């Protein structure tokens, strides 16, 4: 059975330590898995500057990333022909028998021409220009192979994710949890980026692999006067093979929404 010996931080606040121990024990009692916590933390953030009255992802251009049942996401290209010297890091997940496995790989751009990923994936959770020092001139798309125009997929429904040139990293308020991890979410936040007489309903949603997203909780409406930052106590436990997504619905069009969440990965202990 999970107990305090599974997680022994040095000089940590006692309350936080108790929350970690509680999470480990709850995972064991609910799912039967022993875990070790705090190998890696995650701070996920996103932005959608064009939220309207239809529910949309908090992601650049409002793109809803592909969550594929196969490793169908295999192609990369930039919208700018001059992007030929950059190497980007692509993080995502392969899938086999409905189980997700995290994979990170580097890909060298060839302008608007297609480049094939060394390892095709089912999800893309982050694209970043971590190697530097040359920024891309255009947005970079990772997608299921198909027709493109000037480096951009003709069908945005095939996009695994996109890295905007302005930020050099994805702006996707979501992620996935691998088959050998739990995600212990410690909190979330959201606010509007532009002063406007509007509000947005922010939704924190999860789905297990092979199922549809459902609303886990509503972060509530936000406006210029009521951004939200919430810390879970106890922490929210999200099981393996699960996708996380924050979406927004606005009271009007053109609402600029920022959102994100934080947490720790808990590794399943075998043997």
d(CA 245, CA 202): 11
The pLDDT score that the predictor gives to residue 196 is 76
We find that the CATH architecture of domain 34-58+174-268 is Sandwich (2.60)
- Which stretches of the chain score pLDDT less than 70? 1-17, 38, 213-220, 225, 271
d(CA 36, CA 20): 10
3-state secondary structure of 61: helix
Q: Measured between alpha carbons, how far is residue 184 from residues 49, 195, 233 in Å?
A: 28, 33, 11
Residue bearing tokens 């993080």:
91
The pLDDT score that the predictor gives to residue 215 is 58
Through-space distance between the first and last CA atoms of the chain, rounded to whole angstroms: 13
Buried b vs exposed e over 37-59: b needs ≥16 C-beta within 10 Å?
Answer: beeeebebbbbbeebbeeebbbb
The pLDDT score that the predictor gives to residue 225 is 67
Give the global pTM.
Answer: 0.89
The pLDDT score that the predictor gives to residue 210 is 81
Q: What is the DSSP letter of 98?
A: T
Instruction: List pLDDT tens digits, range 96-111.
Output: 999 999 999 999 999 9
Instruction: List pLDDT tens digits, range 118-166.
Output: 999 999 999 999 877 899 999 999 999 999 999 999 999 999 999 999 9
- The structural domains of the chain, with segments of one domain joined by +, span 34-58+174-268, 63-163
């Amino acid at each position: 059975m999970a107990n305090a010996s599974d997680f022994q931080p040095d000089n940590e606040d006692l309350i936080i330590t108790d929350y970690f121990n509680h999470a480990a024990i709850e995972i064991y009692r609910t799912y039967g898995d022993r875990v070790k916590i705090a190998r890696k933390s995650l701070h996920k953030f996103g932005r959608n500057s064009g939220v309207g009255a239809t529910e949309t992802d908090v992601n650049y251009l409002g793109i809803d990333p592909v969550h594929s049942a196969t490793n169908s996401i295999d192609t990369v290209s930039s919208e700018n022909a001059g992007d030929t010297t950059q190497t980007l890091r692509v993080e995502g997940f392969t899938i086999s028998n409905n189980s997700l496995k995290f994979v990170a790989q580097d890909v060298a751009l060839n302008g608007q021409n297609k480049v094939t990923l060394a390892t095709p994936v089912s999800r893309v959770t982050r694209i970043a220009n971590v190697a530097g020092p040359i920024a891309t001139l255009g947005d970079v798309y990772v997608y299921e192979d198909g027709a493109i125009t000037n480096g951009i997929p003709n069908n945005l429904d095939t996009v695994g994710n996109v890295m905007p040139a302005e930020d050099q990293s994805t702006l996707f308020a979501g992620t996935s949890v691998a088959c050998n991890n739990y995600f212990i979410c410690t909190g979330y936040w959201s606010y509007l980026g532009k002063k406007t007489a509007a509000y947005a309903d922010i939704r924190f949603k999860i789905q297990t692999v092979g199922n549809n997203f459902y609303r886990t909780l509503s972060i509530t409406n936000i406006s210029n006067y009521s951004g939200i930052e919430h810390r879970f106590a106890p922490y929210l436990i999200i099981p393996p093979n699960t996708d996380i997504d924050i979406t927004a619905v606005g009271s009007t069009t053109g609402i600029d929404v920022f959102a994100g969440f934080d947490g720790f990965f808990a590794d399943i202990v075998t043997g």
